[in-house]
Amino acid sequence: MKSINKSTILNVIRLQGPLSRAEIAKVTHLTPPTVTNIVSELLREGWVVECELGESTGGRKPILLNINHKAFNVVGVYAGVKTIRVLSADLAGNTGEERLLSVPARPSGKIYADLLIEAVGSVADRIREKGIPLLGIGVGMHGLVDPREGVSRFAPNLPFSDLPLRSILEEKFSVSVEVENDVRARAVGESWFGHGRGADPFICVHVGTGVGAGMMYEGRLLYGPTFTAGELGHTVIDPAGPACGCGNRGCLEAFVSGPATLERVRRRLAAGEASLLRTRMGVDGKLTGPDLTRAAAEGDRLAVEELAETGRCLGIALANLINLLNPRKIILSGGMIAAGDFVLNPLRRTVEERALSTPAKEVSIVVSELGDRAGVIGAFTLVLQKLFEPQQE
């Protein structure tokens, strides 16, 4: 999208359409001739369609314009440690083709990039078969990401660094590529399609294998000069706490991530405590988050206690966030949040006890409704945001 005026008009039609040309001029404060010119261009290029007649204000009934949602597709990529998920969508976020690939243990940068190309390629092929132009690709990558350069700087649990995702994908698919940290991408997705709509400021907190936050203020993501704002997982909640993967001690992640929670359970089992989980372990001694939730639902005390411990520790971190940033909403996602009230009740109690009452009364703590696809929805929303809201940069 070349001109800001073009994007502005498109965005107004997206948010408030169907609209007449006169209404667009009124809302955007652009002159009627400018609106007429740009709308003609948008019609010619297929971005908008004339859809129906509006109410007459005396003269001829005006023709209303709407976004031509189905005319273009965007593609989102969730680039995780264990899986790569690719999903296409139209301009309204209606999802289409999907591809899910497993990532082998410790892949090289080349193998990882080839998997991305394979997954995106199969979705792009199916879009092309339908004759729909692809506008761009958005990638949500876990770890430290430089969105300006489009590079994955460092991905914990993946053995490569400085992977130039944008240039790899742009070269292969000849469309523009946005690259963002996965939790920040989730925040963008929530702001368009989830709990973040109309809730400004808000913070997405993801609690899975890792722990991170995406913070949205006045419609903009907070980055900081090194693009590392939101590393909530490595804020210290107990200086004497367990060692963390980052080299520090007592980080939030070392208490509430899936692996950290399961490690506490394993230690108590090894010490001989009674639990249903003893019989649920695989032959390899493996336990999963869902095993824990199931045992808790059956009344297993150990499982209930350790999920509650995760909830309490997370509550402390959220209380700190609430005091520091005064958000309207905190949107939770990830494997540990899927444990539901076993984590959420102690979490909410802790926030009540620990956060200052004024900001605590204002904030609502909710669970993302975008489900398993929140990451990849966020990824394709990066492209939509670039098209409709380029001023957000």
Q: Give contact residues for Zn ion (rule: CB under 5 A).
A: 234, 244, 246, 248, 251
Least Cβ distance, residue 234 to Zn ion (angstroms)? 4
In the complex with Zn ion, the residue whose CB is nearer, 87 or 244, is 244
CA dist., res. 294 & res. 304, Å (int): 10
In the complex with Zn ion, the residue whose CB is nearer, 244 or 379, is 244
Least Cβ distance, residue 147 to Zn ion (angstroms)? 22
Least Cβ distance, residue 328 to Zn ion (angstroms)? 28
In the complex with Zn ion, the residue whose CB is nearer, 187 or 251, is 251
CA-wise closest residue to 74 among 389, 327, 384 = 384
In the complex with Zn ion, the residue whose CB is nearer, 236 or 281, is 236
Quick one: which H or E segment has residue 49? Answer: strand 48-53
What is each CA distance from 55 to 30, 35, 217, 292, in whole angstroms?
A: 22, 19, 37, 58
CA dist., res. 342 & res. 335, Å (int): 13
Least Cβ distance, residue 368 to Zn ion (angstroms)? 24
In the complex with Zn ion, the residue whose CB is nearer, 35 or 237, is 237
Least Cβ distance, residue 314 to Zn ion (angstroms)? 15
Phi, psi of 272 (to 5 degrees): 95, 10
By the 8 A CB rule, do 43 and 63 touch? Answer: no
In the complex with Zn ion, the residue whose CB is nearer, 246 or 356, is 246
Least Cβ distance, residue 40 to Zn ion (angstroms)? 55
Helical ranges in the chain per DSSP H: 4-16, 21-28, 32-45, 109-129, 165-173, 182-193, 253-256, 258-270, 277-280, 289-297, 301-325, 341-354, 357-362, 374-388
> For the chain, what is the largest distance between any 2 Cα atoms, rounded to a whole number of angstroms?
84
By the 8 A CB rule, do 338 and 303 touch? Answer: no
Least Cβ distance, residue 336 to Zn ion (angstroms)? 16
